[in-house]
Structure 1
Amino acid sequence: METVQKKGVRLSRQRETILAELCKVKTHPTADEVYDMVRRIMPRISLGTVYRNLDFLSSRGIVLRIGGAGTQKRFDGNPMPHPHLRCSICGRVDDLEYPIALPEIPVEQSMGYQELRCDVEFVGICPMCAGNKM
C-alpha cells in the first residue's frame, strides 16, 4: 500500500480489497480469478467493478497489467519493473527471479513518447504443460 500513498491515490474500500487480495498471491491472476478472490470478502461485488478497478489500479502504476495483444491479461501486485515467464500453452505467468538490466531509452531517442517503461516477458512451456506433452 506504500506505492499507493506515494502516488497520492485514495482508494475506495473495493479498490483496497482488490489490491490487498492481489498482493497476497504470486500467481498473476486474471481479472476473473481476482473476482473470485474478492467475492469471498465482498460477496456483492460485480465482475465489472473488479475489471474497472483493475484498470484504474494498473493505469496509475499501482499494479502491473501483464500480457500483450492476443493474450489473456493477468495482474501483478508488484508494480516494480521485473521480468516474467509466460507459458505459451496454459498462459501461466511467473516472476523471473534473476536480476537482468532493463534497457532504458535515451530521451533523444524516445521520439516524443512520455512515461516509457520496459516490459520483459520470456515465453516458454511451464513444467506442468511440459509434463503433459510427454
Structure 2
Amino acid sequence: MEPTPKPRMTKQKKVILEELKKLDTHPTARELCGIVRERLPKISLGTVYRNLELMSKQGIIRKLEVSGAEMCFDGNPHNHYHLRCVICGRVADADLPLIQGLEDSMAEKTNFQIISHNLEFLGICPKCQADRKRQRDASLN
C-alpha cells in the first residue's frame, strides 16, 4: 500500500495558515483576507475562502459554524472548547480540559456513531461587559 501524499502547500495556502496560526482570535474569511493582503496584496477573498475550506477538510484547521453567524476559522485543529460573545460575536478558546468519555457516553445513549463534537459556551466578553457598564453609567449621569 502506497503512503497517502501530503497535501500540497502553495505559497498562498502557507501564508494563510501562518497568519491564522498567529491569531488568538477566530477570524472570518473576510477578516483573515485583510490580514493576508498585507503580505499578498493581490490575493482574493475567494482564494482565501477556498484555501480555508480545503485546509478544514484536510484537518489542518477547524471551521466553526454557528447558526446565524458568519463562519470563523481556528488555527488549532485539535478538539477544544470555545466561548462566543452574544453581543459582538467574538470567539475565544476556552481553557478547559476535554470532558473524557463524553463522545462514548453519547454513542451509548443514542446509538449514533460519534465522529466529533463541538462545545461552545455563550456569554458576554469582557470588552462588551465594559462597554455596557460605560453606557449604563453614562445614562445615569
TM-score range, shorter chain: 0.7 to 0.9
| Aligned equivalent of 1:14, options 12, 15, 26 | 12
Counterpart position of 2:132: 133
8 Å contact from structure 1 (residues 86, 121) kept in 2: yes
Alpha-carbon distance, 1:7 to partner: 8.1
**1:25-62 residue CA offsets vs partner (Å, 9 max, x unmatched):** 11111111110111011111011111111111112211
Q: How does 1:11-50 map to 2 (within 5 A)?
A: 11-50=9-48
What TM-score does the superposition give when structure 1 sets the normalisation length?
0.85
Counterpart position of 1:97: 95
* Letter in structure 2 aligned against 1:22: L
User: What SS class does the counterpart of residue 65 from structure 1 fall into?
Assistant: strand
What TM-score does the superposition give when structure 2 sets the normalisation length?
0.81
Q: How does 1:52-131 map to 2 (within 5 A)?
A: 52-101=50-99, 103-105=102-104, 106=107, 109-110=111-112, 116-131=115-130
Q: Distance in 2 between matches of 1:20 and 1:100?
A: 26
Cα distance change on mapping 1:51 and 1:104 into 2, 3 Å: same
- Unmatched segments (≥5 aa) in structure 1: 1-5
**Identity in percent:** 44
Q: Distance in 1 between matches of 2:5 and 2:18?
A: 17
* Letter in structure 2 aligned against 1:125: I
Alpha-carbon distance, 1:119 to partner: 0.7
> How well do the aligned residues superpose, as a CA RMSD in angstroms?
2.1
Q: Distance in 2 between matches of 1:16 and 1:30?
A: 17
Counterpart position of 2:136: none
